[in-house]
Chain A
Amino acid sequence: MKKKKIKAILQGIVIALICAVDVYPLLWMVSASFKQQSEWTSKPAYALNEGFHFQNYIDAWTRGHMATFFMNSLLCTLIALVFIVLFACTVGFATTKMQWKGREFVSKFFSLGIMVPVATALIPLFQIFNQLNLLNTRFCLIITYIAFGLSLSIYLVQGYLRSLPDELLEASVIDGCGIYRMMWLVVTPLMKNAIVTVLVLQFFFKWNDLLFSMTFISDSALKTVQTGLLYFQDEFGSKNWGAIFASVSMSVLPMLVLYTILNKKVMEGMTAGAVKG
């Protein structure tokens, strides 16, 4: 009995250690974001902050242009998300429940995109936008976000729709629904779960995008949070750790908030892509 207890305690310690390894760097980051410049030289890096030096955040937000970057990221991500969800639902519905020639082919065609590495399309995309004079616009970023979000989202929506009983659709037809009202009033409410999954997954993908935004956008008034962060150090100098940590903490905050509110949904959404893709 005693042996069992010791074992349980040891197991608990191992798990606690793993949790610590997971969380400690983040706590350190937040604590570091409140440190004054002098604390870095006078104390070891693992020491806690002495006071709350909010000036770091103010610096990052204004002088570091984090306000602009946030606005840009938010605009591009949200607009892209609206269209991704809309298209995923309509295409998903048309390819699983509606009857027409070529729907298998279209469905296969969309699923091909799941495997395409972003890097492979990057050079021609850059040339296309360059020819059309669309580089350095939000439009080119949004349209690529939409295009690259479609494959996986459609795939996920199709999975949900296949398990939707046809009788429901039949009943709505008998009740006199046309196709558009059926889509909007019957099917969409039933797909709420699928829509949330797609939203969560694509939000993280788009918000975290770096490759597209650093390739297509060089104008610093249009940069997104990720590109902004990448060059933050160049603008602020490598010595201003406080402001760097403040900006990194800030960029993490939306994720933190979203995750605490919706953690089950976020886990489901993020892993759906792996389990089904």
Chain B
Amino acid sequence: MKKVLGNKKAVALFVLPALIIYAIFVMLPVLWSFYYSLYSGSPGLKWEFVGLKNYSRLLVDKNFIKALTVNLKYISVVTIGQVSLGLALALMFKFWLRRCKSFVRTLIFFPVVLPTVAVGQLFNKIYEIQPNYGLLNSFLEGIGLEQLVQPWLGQSSTALWCLCIMDIWVAMGFYSVIFYGALLNIPDDIIEAARIDGSGSWNMFRRILLPLLRPMVVTCFVFSFSGTVKMFESALALTKGGPAGSTKSLSMYMYDVSFTYGKVGYGSVIAIVIFLICIVGSFLINRFDTKD
């Protein structure tokens, strides 16, 4: 037994190819980003060592601050929206729905499997005003609310909200299925006992279900958070970052800086900021799980 499972050759054959690919194409680039972040220009073109200057530049870069605020706003609205709506839907499935449970779940989950770009294009047309009214505007016109017809994606005040709504729409089914699974794991006797003791719906949710679901809520927040920090695909597909940068995220700004303007060093600093936000944020959210 030991001899077979301790076969060194087999271990090497099983692990090495994957390890090499992973080390070269995932870990090495991450470390390389730190090295790049100390230089200005792009490799081969005015490539100079500048030390930490790139980092201090962040603090006075208005575009960076704007992208950061947009990104943080997006993170808070979308994570809270996705997780709370997901939880609400799961509770409805559990307590309100008597028939066609699996059918309804299948329907609700469906947007999750759609390609992000396709959803972006679809919503782009829903919010459209030119050359003809999109779904939303033509509805508003149809029910006599013409004064609400507006270029939803064409003005800074609404574009980010439209984006958030789209991303919540896409993912709420995902979280509802996760929460529903967790709800099914709660024994019915607990819920029954609480009911007999005369606890109302809100009390039951706050005192019994929520504490039991807490680990799952934390997991979902971490997952939703790490998805929204990366904010790129959906924003690019819906608004391309506009109007006037009102939906431009950190990743998009990084992309512009390093690929459009060719400032690889400075772009790497932004990449590192994204990395740090991701790590620190997940760590902070995870702390809610342990303390009790």
A and B form one complex: yes
Q: Is the CB of B27 within 8 A of A150?
A: no
Partner of A229, one of B5, B117, B230: B117
Partner of A46, one of B2, B139, B251, B255: B139
Known A18-B108, A239-B131; contact A123-B271, beta-carbon cutoff 8 A: yes
Task: State whether the Cβ of A220 lies closer than 8 Å to any Cβ in chain B.
Answer: no
Max count, chain A CB within 10 A of own CB: residue among B26, B131, B142, B169: B26
Q: Is the CB of A210 within 8 A of B92?
A: no
Q: Is the CB of A117 within 8 A of B259?
A: no
Task: State whether the Cβ of B261 lies closer than 8 Å to any Cβ in chain A.
Answer: no
Task: State whether the Cβ of A190 lies closer than 8 Å to any Cβ in chain B.
Answer: no
Number of interface residues of B (CB under 8 A): 96
CA distance A210 to B264 in the complex (A): 20
Task: State whether the Cβ of A6 lies closer than 8 Å to any Cβ in chain B.
Answer: no
Task: State whether the Cβ of A259 lies closer than 8 Å to any Cβ in chain B.
Answer: yes
Task: State whether the Cβ of A225 lies closer than 8 Å to any Cβ in chain B.
Answer: yes
Task: State whether the Cβ of B89 lies closer than 8 Å to any Cβ in chain A.
Answer: yes
Partner of A19, one of B5, B107, B131: B107
Q: Is the CB of B22 within 8 A of A110?
A: yes
Q: Is the CB of B29 within 8 A of A125?
A: yes
Give the dominant DSSP class at B's interface.
Answer: helix
Q: Is the CB of A128 within 8 A of B92?
A: no
Task: State whether the Cβ of B55 lies closer than 8 Å to any Cβ in chain A.
Answer: no
Q: Is the CB of A123 within 8 A of B36?
A: yes
User: Can you name the residue of chain B whose Cβ is closest to the Cβ of A241?
Assistant: B125
| Chain A hits for B115, CB < 8 A | 207-208, 225-226, 229, 251-252, 255
Partner of A15, one of B1, B13, B92, B169: B92
User: Can you name the residue of chain A whose Cβ is closest to the Cβ of B24?
Assistant: A147
Give the dominant DSSP class at A's interface.
Answer: helix
| Chain B hits for A110, CB < 8 A | 19, 22
Known A87-B18, A121-B30; contact A204-B113, beta-carbon cutoff 8 A: yes
Within 8 A of B (CB), among A216-247: 225-226, 229-230, 232-233, 238-239, 241, 244-245
Partner of B97, one of A15, A148, A239: A15
User: Can you name the residue of chain B whose Cβ is closest to the Cβ of A126?
Assistant: B259
Against B, the Cβ 8 Å flags (1 = close, 0 = not) of A95-132 are 10111100000100110110111111111111110000
Max count, chain B CB within 10 A of own CB: residue among A18, A124, A244: A124
Q: Is the CB of B106 within 8 A of A263?
A: yes
| Chain A hits for B13, CB < 8 A | 90
CA distance A94 to B16 in the complex (A): 11
